[in-house]
Amino acid sequence: MKKSGLKFNVILSLISQFVCYISPLIVAPYISRVLGPDGIGVYSFSYSFVFYFSSLIVLGFSNLGITMISKERDDKEKYSIIFWTTLLLRFFLGIVLIGIYLGLSFGGVLGGRDNIYIMLALTLVLIGNIVDIKFLFQGLENFKIITYIQVLTYVLYIGSIFLLVKDRNDVLLYTILKSSTDLLVNIVLFVFAVKHIKRPCIDFKIMPNLLKNSLLLFVPSILINLGIQLEQTFLGVFSNNTEVGYFQQAIKFPLLIGNLTYAICPVMMARVSYLIKEGKNDEIKDKISKILLLAALLSLPCCLGLYSIGKIFVPLYFGQEFLPVVNILYITLPISIFSPINAILINAYLYPLKKTNYVVIAAGSELIVNIILSIILLYGLNLGAIGGATACFICEVILFLLLLIFCRNSFQHKFVLKDFLKICISALLIACAVIPFNKFVQLNIWLQLFIDVIIGAFIYGVVLIVTKEYVVLNILNYCISKFIRKEIN
């Protein structure tokens, strides 16, 4: 099977992930004003319980499926068996877990009896997890189909939110619309999967091995992703729905920045798995180095840019009710720098090389610290969303330091450090220019933000070009060569 170019797949995956996370940001100002902090908090608190069941259904099947299908992508019969067997295992596991989830929800154990309808609506998320087949296309490095379908589906989602959700009593309707989006994506993907796979063919002999390896991937995966959901659960239990709402809105942008870069991970996981099979270790190190720089190139300016305009942006974007979000946002913003680097080191290096024990140690340590800090800051000191944000930030730094130790041989240190410093300096200059500008110049708030963005983007781009940062020069050379080739033709 012909494999697409790595650069093209990275771009498509970035677009796909961008659409998934930009759509909530588009509707966030509207939803924040319509549902208010309490409505946002009710949804976020309820979803925090669903996350645990969702993670169990997904297990490690998706990541395992990507690596296994990637290695066998030239043999349609072999990867079709892997696909159908994986899907059947997930189906059986999902049915059992949905049954347990519904029993606990009706019993009032999850979310309380007042939120029972919200909990039932969130069952759509669990069904979507069962039929999630994106791992097939990711393993085959066919990101085009995923991107097109997600773009169309999320456009429909945005339109339906503005048309149908009208007041604070529409929390249930909002939950249904939001929960059904990924389910719709996966149903449509099945239509396109037909030509890529053979008819259902199950190999029961490989099931125990699949389950074992999925579990090995699941443990570190759940440990890594548990932090933010735990904070929302702890906030709902120790504080109130309003504090959950503040925390949820503050964490939105760091997650968007981090997850946008995280889109690179499925591409890198598939490509590195293939390179491992081919024994191309130097190429692996080279590609991981460049992807780490790309992550920094995207996340650092976003982080410092938001820090520069936070006081203006938050009340304008979410409404005056969410003014406390400003200080919480400042605490969570650095997560957007560490999180994507952590994700790349885990998914593009440790997972493909089957060094999951390192992930378990790092993520397990982070989780233990997270629980201790959450109990101290939320229950002991009653700091609410501020405490939750502080715990998340500290834990992300701890995970980063541990992964840096475990993955010290995965990239070219001098090359990465040299260009990373260029990116840091360029991003810091954004804050140095925008903060004084906002202090001494007062314009119409929209015009002010527009000028802030223009100033920041201009300074960042110019400094990177002047310092000859590797990724930027590569992009410029690629664009220039394409333009020249077009002119010649």
- Please give the model's pTM, rounded to 2 decimal places: 0.70
Q: What is the pLDDT of residue 99?
A: 93
Rounded-to-integer distance, Cα 274 and Cα 9, Å: 15
Q: For residue 1, what pLDDT is reported?
A: 44
Q: What is the pLDDT of residue 312?
A: 87
Ramachandran area for residue 102 (φ above 0: left; ψ -120 to 50: alpha; else beta)? alpha
DSSP string spanning 365-389? Answer: HHHHHHHHHHIIIIIIS--HHHHHH
Q: Which of 8, 60, 2, 1 is nearest to 264 (CA)?
A: 8
Q: Are 99 and 302 in contact (CB under 8 A)?
A: no
Centroid of chain to Cα 128: 17
Question: What confidence score (pLDDT) does residue 186 get?
Answer: 87
Distance of CA 427 to the CA centre of its chain: 22
52 to 49, 132, 266: CA distances (angstroms): 6, 17, 22
DSSP per-residue letters across 229-278: HHHHHHHHHHS-HHHHHHHHHHHHHHHHHHHHHHTHHHHHHHHHHHHHHH
Q: Give burial (CB, 10 Å; 0-12/13-18/19+) of 381.
A: exposed
271-340-234-351 Cα dihedral, nearest 10 degrees:
30
Q: What is the pLDDT of residue 81?
A: 86
State both tokens at 239.
């504080």
pLDDT in tens, the chain (489 residues): 444 555 566 666 666 666 766 777 788 888 888 888 888 888 888 888 888 888 888 776 777 777 788 777 777 888 888 888 888 888 988 999 999 999 988 887 776 666 788 889 999 999 998 988 888 887 777 777 777 888 888 889 899 999 999 887 888 999 999 899 889 988 888 888 888 788 878 878 878 887 877 777 676 666 666 777 778 888 888 888 888 888 888 888 887 777 666 666 656 656 666 677 666 777 777 777 878 888 888 888 988 998 898 888 888 888 888 888 899 999 999 988 888 888 888 877 787 777 878 888 888 888 899 899 989 998 889 998 899 999 999 999 999 999 888 888 777 778 788 888 888 999 999 999 999 998 888 888 888 888 998 999 999 888 888 887 777 777 777 667 766 665 555
Q: How many separate helices (H) and strands (E) can be counted in the chain?
A: 19, 0
What's the chain's Rg over C-alpha atoms? 23
The answer to whether 312 touches 448, Cβ cutoff 8 Å, is yes
Tell me which residue has tokens 């998340």.
392
Give yes or no for a contact between 160 and 177, defined as CB atoms under 8 angstroms apart: yes
Residue 405's identity, in one-letter code, is I
- CB neighbours of 103 closer than 8 A, spacing ≥ 6? none
